[in-house]
Structure 1
Amino acid sequence: MTIVFDPFCGVSGDMILSSLLDLFPERRDDVISKLENLGRLLGIELKIKLEEVKRGGIPGKLLVIESDAMRIDNPMEMLRTFSKLCSTMNFPEKISKTGRRILLRIFEAESRAHGVEMRRLHLHETGDIDTQIEVIGTLILLEDESEVYSTPISIGKGYVRTEHGLMPVPTPATAQIMLKSAHKFRLGPVEGELATPTGVAILSEIARPIPDSMSFNPTRIGHGAGSMELKEIPNLLRAYLLSHEKEEILYMVETSIDDVTPEILSKVQEDLGSISLDVYLLPTLMKKGRLGHTLKCLVEGTKLREAIEKIFESTGTLGVRYYSVKREKLEREEVKLNIPIGERKFKVRFKVSYLPSGRRQIKAEYDDLKRISDEVGLPIRIVKEEAERIARKEIR
């Protein structure tokens, strides 16, 4: 499933959730019911409605959250509450981990903006129950292995009145989130605040910047409405559901270096491996005949900024190149089998992939083969041949 958000008039947490509820009407009642159950767990009154409104003559869905919950003004308490809700509701681990990262983006940005340690921070609007509802609801709707992209985010311009007085747009907290985001931002198109900290934090965590080279065919469109009616532009967030494509857009990040020792390069490669789909070193003949290496790593859009910063910090290079690349994947699945080797049986994982012709490929996982080879004292080549021979018979 591939989704593209188009925040042409900004973004907020409620607009993201309402656009997805509009995009997936068949899941609307179930998701709202789950979210209202969170109120019962917290012992509060919580009512969630999705109202049909028009913005600039275009229909959209407005999320309305009614609650008697007290605002949580401490970030650590809010993180504990969030984890408790996810655990009690038996949400998948991915929802809990991604949700915590979103909240940490917000709290760390607020901390930097106000010059206060996070544990001493006093939350304002982001301490409302609405923030947790918007994060959890969004992640429930995206809990499948979704590929999510976003066009550049409009942030508004001018000034906005806050509890601290008149602030420039983007507000300090939103600006701090932008600094750590891989997305592109644009001022306007109207006066006022269009992008909230929660909205920018959610998109920064779940979505990749849409590459200029990406084309798509939408099959559905959802509209999430902002609370204000603007004269100049429809106050809506668009969400597109795309037809399934085998092709995906990734980023290649690289730098050429000739003054880093092999030991350090090995550690850099290891560190990048935790955030990269692939990472490798190529021998390079540089200017003036100097021998060096080109370090290359393939990353998803959400990891682009982290990869660039890690390369700068770890290598001392003065420049990093990156560019979008297309990758097409074969359909694949993982199958686990108990394979007899000698007098014992071992659990082995197999990657089963399908060529465009329909032919099947079966490949045993190296780590499992190595473990068996070490235990039984057979060459890994023999273990591989026997395991894959049995798998070809058993996997249908």
Structure 2
Amino acid sequence: MRAVHFDCFAGAAGDMLLGALLDLGLPLDSLTIPINSLNLKDISLSLQRVVKRGVSASQFRVHVEHRDHAPHGHGHHAHGRSLADIERLLRASALPPRPRERALKAFRRLGEVEPAIHGLPVEGIHFHEVGAEDSIVDIAGFFLALDLLGVERVTASPLPVGRGFVQTAHGRMPVPAPATAKLLEGVPVLDNGLEGEVLTPTGALLLAESAASFGPMPAMTVTRVGCGAGERDAALPNLVRAFMGETAGRTDAPPAEIAILEVNLDDMRPELFPHVIERALALGALDAFAIPTVGKKGRPAHLLTVLSPPERREELTRLLFRETTTLGVRHRAAGRSTAERDWLDARLPWGTVRVKRARWEGETVNLAPEYEDCRRLAEASGVPLKEVMDAALAAARAAAGKGP
């Protein structure tokens, strides 16, 4: 299983976390089109090499034309956006379904935190620091980068929070700022001796939403190490390190017992089916599909099926009632056998493609190049997509010892 462990010894901010993921080898161009689809005005992205106390790292920046850009600090404020504003931006974007839903979930979590702090209904809350263009890009870009890298599990070190006070849109606040402190409930924290805000609200939000656990680095075979730099200079190198590797075994192996949810639909508009299927997958469904059938009185209909982990059954049942025209959802438990799955990197003349490998009883039984990786390389290089896919499959076969 592909995993990433974030070592946040100096703190964490959104730009540092995304910079570390890009430093693992993800091209900045792979983020550009999806991020531009957010329709944030007058922004541009850059990635450059910097050195922080003798350590080379990638520094990711969002440049905003209409204001002097002071990335990711509390001290600079843009006009606040409401949760509804941000949800509209994300839903109208071309982000893939899973990172889009994860970004929406992160903002909704913030939407639960801010009203509790300020004593206002969520409709009256405007996000300032986390609603600014750079932070929206950091949050959407972070989940997009995890998806593009094929990361299945995230862990992180305990998080340092800093000392002293910070200037926010609501005035001078103690460190960690109230929103950051609320997001850290249940998260191990520490004092690393640094003054000021070393953990930003965006950094806390991303790690609280993505990390399965906080603590020492788990056992893994490290394949790459990336370093993401922050803006400030401190007594420590102002970096987040991202260790990417393969764990010895799948701690999130596909469940052997699943829930099957089914609905018959003869009165739902066809264009709704892709939306419902995407939403189901984003909420954790193992698979979702629709099969044409014939209903009562000879009516054309569809059988919509969702395969769910047992713990997601109620949430996905709620989705089917809210998003479809059904009046009832059938559900039953079923057993299944699944092949062990992991990822190979196929290095091609035009870049690297992830290839999913399936193994049964130790034997490689299937290899499948990741379509989005192949499409991105084909568009960038001008090579036909089918040739990129064929080359990726051939490289993966050689790496897996499967022959031509």
What is the TM-score when the length of structure 2 is the normalising length?
0.58
Any conservation in 2 of the 1:156–1:194 contact (CA below 8 Å)?
yes
Task: Name which of 137, 148, 152 aligns with 2:158.
Answer: 152
Matches of 1:52 and 1:243, distance apart in 2: 27
Any conservation in 1 of the 2:220–2:247 contact (CA below 8 Å)?
no
- Secondary structure of 1:19's counterpart equals helix
Cα deviation, residue 171, structure 1: 0.6
Any conservation in 1 of the 2:157–2:216 contact (CA below 8 Å)?
no
Decide which structure has greater helix share. Answer: 1
The farther-off stretch of 103-112 and 204-213 is 204-213
Q: Deviations over 1:100-148 (max 9, x none)?
A: 1111122322222222211101322112111221112111211135211
Q: Does 1:132 align with 2:136?
A: yes
Mark the CA change 1:177 to 1:107 in structure 2 (over 3 Å): closer, same or farther: same
Matched residues, percent identical?
28
Mark the CA change 1:201 to 1:213 in structure 2 (over 3 Å): closer, same or farther: closer
The equivalent of 1:29 in structure 2 is 29
Mark the CA change 1:332 to 1:237 in structure 2 (over 3 Å): closer, same or farther: closer
Matches of 1:84 and 1:94, distance apart in 2: 14
Matches of 1:299 and 1:206, distance apart in 2: 21
Task: Name which of 307, 320, 340 aligns with 1:331.
Answer: 340
Task: Name which of 21, 35, 56 aligns with 2:53.
Answer: 56
Any conservation in 2 of the 1:15–1:237 contact (CA below 8 Å)?
yes
Q: Deviations over 1:256-302 (max 9, x none)?
A: xxxxxxxxxxxxxxxxxx99x9xxxxxxxxxxxxxxxxxxxx999xx
Task: Name which of 228, 239, 242 aligns with 1:239.
Answer: 242
Cα deviation, residue 162, structure 1: 2.4
Matches of 2:364 and 2:119, distance apart in 1: 60
Cα deviation, residue 149, structure 1: 1.0
Mark the CA change 1:359 to 1:125 in structure 2 (over 3 Å): closer, same or farther: closer
The equivalent of 1:214 in structure 2 is 218
Any conservation in 2 of the 1:211–1:249 contact (CA below 8 Å)?
no
Matches of 1:201 and 1:81, distance apart in 2: 19
Mark the CA change 1:332 to 1:57 in structure 2 (over 3 Å): closer, same or farther: closer
Matches of 1:237 and 1:145, distance apart in 2: 17
The equivalent of 1:94 in structure 2 is 98
Cα deviation, residue 167, structure 1: 1.3
Cα deviation, residue 80, structure 1: 1.6
Any conservation in 1 of the 2:157–2:217 contact (CA below 8 Å)?
no
Q: Deviations over 1:198-222 (max 9, x none)?
A: 1111111111114558323322111
Matches of 1:13 and 1:57, distance apart in 2: 22
Q: Deviations over 1:30-61 (max 9, x none)?
A: 223542x236x45x222111122121221112
- Secondary structure of 2:220's counterpart equals coil
Mark the CA change 1:210 to 1:171 in structure 2 (over 3 Å): closer, same or farther: closer
Any conservation in 2 of the 1:160–1:167 contact (CA below 8 Å)?
yes
Letter in 2 for 1:331: E
The equivalent of 2:8 in structure 1 is 7
Letter in 2 for 1:74: S
The equivalent of 2:274 in structure 1 is none
Matches within 5 A, 1:147-296: 147-179=153-185, 182-210=186-214, 214-230=218-234, 232-248=235-251
Any conservation in 2 of the 1:31–1:137 contact (CA below 8 Å)?
yes
Mark the CA change 1:19 to 1:214 in structure 2 (over 3 Å): closer, same or farther: closer
Equivalenced residue count is 260
Let me know the Cα RMSD of the aligned residues: 3.2
Any conservation in 2 of the 1:160–1:169 contact (CA below 8 Å)?
yes
Gaps of 5+ in 1: 251-273, 278-297, 304-328, 334-351, 361-396
Gaps of 5+ in 2: 67-77, 254-282, 287-308, 313-337, 343-357, 366-404
The farther-off stretch of 220-229 and 118-127 is 118-127
Matches of 1:166 and 1:194, distance apart in 2: 16
Q: Does 1:38 align with 2:41?
A: no
Matches of 1:195 and 1:101, distance apart in 2: 20
Matches of 1:81 and 1:195, distance apart in 2: 26
Mark the CA change 1:353 to 1:221 in structure 2 (over 3 Å): closer, same or farther: closer
Matches of 2:203 and 2:364, distance apart in 1: 44
Cα deviation, residue 239, structure 1: 0.5
The equivalent of 2:123 in structure 1 is 119
- Secondary structure of 1:156's counterpart equals coil
Cα deviation, residue 175, structure 1: 0.7
Matches of 1:95 and 1:103, distance apart in 2: 12
Matches of 1:135 and 1:9, distance apart in 2: 20
Mark the CA change 1:54 to 1:33 in structure 2 (over 3 Å): closer, same or farther: farther
Choose 1 or 2 for highest CA Rg.
1
